[in-house]
Structure 1
Amino acid sequence: MTSAKEQLDELCYLTAQSLTTLKTSEHFKLIKLLGQGSYGKVMLAVHKKRGTPMALKFFPRAGTSLQAFLREYNLSLAFCTHPSLNRALGIFYSTPGYYVFAQQAGLYGDLYDVILSKDGLGEECTQRVMSQLSGAVSHLHSLGFVHRDIKPENVFLCDAKCRWVKLGDFGLVKPRGSEVYAVWYDSPFCVPEVAEAKRLKKKSEEEEEKEEEEEEEEFCITVEPSLDSWALGVLVFCLLTSCFPWEESTKDDASYRAFKRWFDHMAERSAEVGEDIDCYERIAPFFSHFSPLALSLFRQLLNPEPTLRAAVDEIPGYLGGPWLLETEKEEKRKAEQAQMEARKVSVGGVIQEKEREGRGER
């Protein structure tokens, strides 16, 4: 049976033969810039003949290989069939300066815009978003691909209230099991297993300052779905709080150190007693306002050991219950109040029945 990777390679070979040259302004009306980065830029556009809004992704030919462009285009077109994956529209071409393909447009911005404008999305909205994203990422994983770049800027909104979101930007997607050079970048989404790359980067910079010429050290990591699990764990924290849990996942970061101490303590105590213990024992302060259900999810997704990290398809099992401690307390209060009311009704009914019996009524 042909693997998805082999199918993708074949599609890239075939589409390379049919790449045409077009003048963008003859076919599209460019509306505004949607995003820009090291990959190039994304413009909101309208097809002149059909009147269809779409996003045009421009890749500078000077810094983009044809293979890389075709790979992202064909991956998005042929394999991103889940409703919460941003899909290409079958339009791809080149200009003298760019390779371009069209994709579905997120007309309401991205999650980063929403996080900046709020003190958190709220539990209902956050769980709705995570339900969609976990399904989308699980779909990629089932095909043997790992996204490797999940972050708020890459989650696009199809409506203003996050009822429908789409994960996009597949430029860093790699097949599971691939060996890649570990790259350190200053972000809470960067996994702790590539902290060694930070040390080597710092060492290289120090050697450059000393004008020493030594062979640059590098190390590789294997691409596994656990990379996406970590990113989704950080994203849950961001959506609920509008903050990051830490600046970077290394011992140099005080917030991450506090989380790691709590995580290791919980693991040790659970191993000793053979069951979960009080999750608030020695908890990192910035995690203290989450419910036990949410803390359990964080412990699964943000496990510093990648081989023990939970799979993305386990996230739906944590949906439905309260993720913030205040919500859990309020739900318990309402449940207790409802029980008291039910008890009053029950006791009142017994009293009335006895009164009727005393009057000889049936």
Structure 2
Amino acid sequence: MDPFSLNLAEAEPDAATARFHDIQMQGLPYVEVEREFRDVRLLASGWYTKIFLARQRFREDKLVLKCIQKGTTSKEDFFREFHYSYQLSQHPNIVKSFYSPFVTRTSYVFTEEVAPCGDLSQYLRRGGIGEAASKRVAEQVSAALAFMHSKGLVHRDVTPENILVFDSQLHVVKLSDFGSTRRAGEGEDLAAGGPVAAWTPPEVRQAGGEAICMGPWQDAWALGVLLFTCLTGRPPWSAAHISDPHYRWWAAWATHSARRPPHKFRCFTPRLLRLLRHLLHPLPEKRCVTDVAKYLSYPWLVHGADPYQAAVEDALRDPIDAQNTKPRGVTLFKAAEKKVREALRSHLCYGNSPQKPHRKTVRFDDTPDDNTPYQVTGCSDKEPSPPTISRKFTPICDLSSFDFTPYDMSLPYDTDTFDFIHYEDSGSSYESYDYEDSSDFTYV
């Protein structure tokens, strides 16, 4: 009987009698696509797979034809992907596959439902997709992964390209592409399959292509990277390796070796940081996908924060030593100067006074002396030169009592009469500020 003379759904066998992991090798009917389908159009093409949109010759329903090249895939691998795709279709957040595999002159083919809105990668614009949409994606993808893990399977390729979108508001998304799916506990050369770069867990990179045991912790890692990408529009690092300074700092914080998370994570609330620590922990045994549902009711983004801007600013910062998370060299004093500017801006203002206060200029003399704190000396209105903040003077306190970290810096200064007006860079020799005039003074 012609396999396409019936409704595809009617040709399905009794799923209740099929063993989930019993992959049956069977003969495949030969089909000429041009005779059985019409309106065939290429949707996507990869190294060994091509995706076509088509209609059956005598039906109006649209189908997706997933064509896997014979020259790059064995028949056994094809049946494994088709078997898992079909058996997992019962979950509402996994793309539905029909029981209608066949073979053409060059490919093994099976059919799937159509995702009318493409895949998730098309929605990741500047700044991500927003907190509400990210939560919807997280809830549905984590549910699909939890279902797979309950069946003893690991997806191993959770990326935006493999998450299909069924409505533009991301209320319905489905996990797809089970070509890399394997049973948990199997050992395999993971360098030969699965995601690459930022999506690859650190234990896979450290294996150096050797076979390691597969488990749900790999999908948990990919889900954590996916959440960060949905919220910010870009992955958190280039590669999960100690050579990447962004991952090195994250790993130090996740293992409680650093007090503060990386800069690009500052736009996230403590609840989301706790979730990401569970998903992106450097140790595989500490990762868990099922934790996602517990955090959906809490805010994920700090009010008013720009996740994309935080990620961009972090990419422009100097490399960070992950062991102590302190800037190197002269970056220490540059960060201290920035902290002073932020303190002046946040604590001092004109208030409601209609009169513009009298101002003097304070200068930062860039004379290098890395072991002395700042000191401010004042002058009266009649003095010809403005007061200066200089690094060249006798130390008046021990710098070891201050904690110079990227997030917790302190300097001995008094802000009672300072009023920050503006900042202007008038050259490499100094930076200028304004302050309110009260009297001659010397502040330390």
| Cross-structure match for 2:110 | 101
What secondary structure sits across from 1:55 in the alignment?
Answer: strand
**What are the superposed Cα offsets for residues 56-91 of structure 1, whole Å, 9 maximum, x if unpaired?**
000111111111111111211123311110121122
What secondary structure sits across from 1:262 in the alignment?
Answer: helix
| Cross-structure match for 2:350 | none
2: CA distance, partners of 1:301 / 1:148: 14
1: CA distance, partners of 2:253 / 2:173: 33
2: CA distance, partners of 1:289 / 1:171: 36
Contact 1:291 1:323 in 2 (8 A): yes
| Cross-structure match for 2:264 | 286
Alignment of structure 1 residues 202-217 onto 2, 5 Å:
none
1: CA distance, partners of 2:47 / 2:292: 31
| Cross-structure match for 1:183 | 191
What's the RMSD between the two structures over aligned residues? 2.0
| Cross-structure match for 2:75 | 66
**What are the superposed Cα offsets for residues 210-247 of structure 1, whole Å, 9 maximum, x if unpaired?**
xxxxxxxx521101000000000000000001011001
Structure 2 unaligned regions, length at least 5 = 1-15, 306-444
What secondary structure sits across from 1:29 in the alignment?
Answer: strand
| Cross-structure match for 1:296 | 274
**What are the superposed Cα offsets for residues 255-313 of structure 1, whole Å, 9 maximum, x if unpaired?**
1112122223xx358xxxxxxxxxxx42200101101111011101000000111x211
What secondary structure sits across from 2:198 in the alignment?
Answer: coil
**83-92 vs 33-42, which deviates more?**
33-42
Q: 1:12: how far off? A: 2.2
What secondary structure sits across from 2:177 in the alignment?
Answer: coil
**What are the superposed Cα offsets for residues 116-137 of structure 1, whole Å, 9 maximum, x if unpaired?**
x342111111101111111111
2:120 to 72, 91, 111: 111
| Cross-structure match for 2:292 | 315
TM-score by length of 2: 0.62
2: CA distance, partners of 1:163 / 1:118: 20
Q: 1:326: how far off? A: 1.4
Q: Does 1:306 align with 2:306?
A: no
Letter in 2 for 1:233: G
The total of aligned residue pairs comes to 287
1: CA distance, partners of 2:97 / 2:162: 15
**What are the superposed Cα offsets for residues 163-210 of structure 1, whole Å, 9 maximum, x if unpaired?**
100100000000010011131874111000022244xxxxxxxxxxxx
TM-score by length of 1: 0.75
2: CA distance, partners of 1:137 / 1:316: 12
2: CA distance, partners of 1:173 / 1:8: 13
Contact 2:69 2:108 in 1 (8 A): yes
Letter in 1 for 2:293: P
Q: Does 1:195 align with 2:186?
A: no
Contact 1:32 1:45 in 2 (8 A): yes
1: CA distance, partners of 2:236 / 2:169: 24
| Cross-structure match for 1:90 | 99
| Cross-structure match for 2:230 | 239
Letter in 2 for 1:46: R
Change (3 A) 1:186 1:167: closer
Which has the higher Rg, Structure 1 or Structure 2?
Answer: 2
Task: Work out the percentage of aligned pairs sharing the same amino acid.
Answer: 33
What secondary structure sits across from 2:91 in the alignment?
Answer: coil
Q: 1:35: how far off? A: 1.9
Change (3 A) 1:70 1:85: same
| Cross-structure match for 1:40 | 49
2: CA distance, partners of 1:327 / 1:136: 32
2: CA distance, partners of 1:50 / 1:240: 41
Using CA pairs under 8 Å that are at least 6 residues apart, name the structure with larger relative contact order, 1 or 2.
1
Contact 1:126 1:236 in 2 (8 A): yes
Contact 2:201 2:240 in 1 (8 A): yes
Contact 1:80 1:140 in 2 (8 A): no
Alignment of structure 1 residues 320-331 onto 2, 5 Å:
320-326=297-303
| Cross-structure match for 2:157 | 149
2: CA distance, partners of 1:78 / 1:120: 33
Contact 1:12 1:67 in 2 (8 A): no
Q: Does 1:12 align with 2:24?
A: yes
Contact 1:30 1:43 in 2 (8 A): no
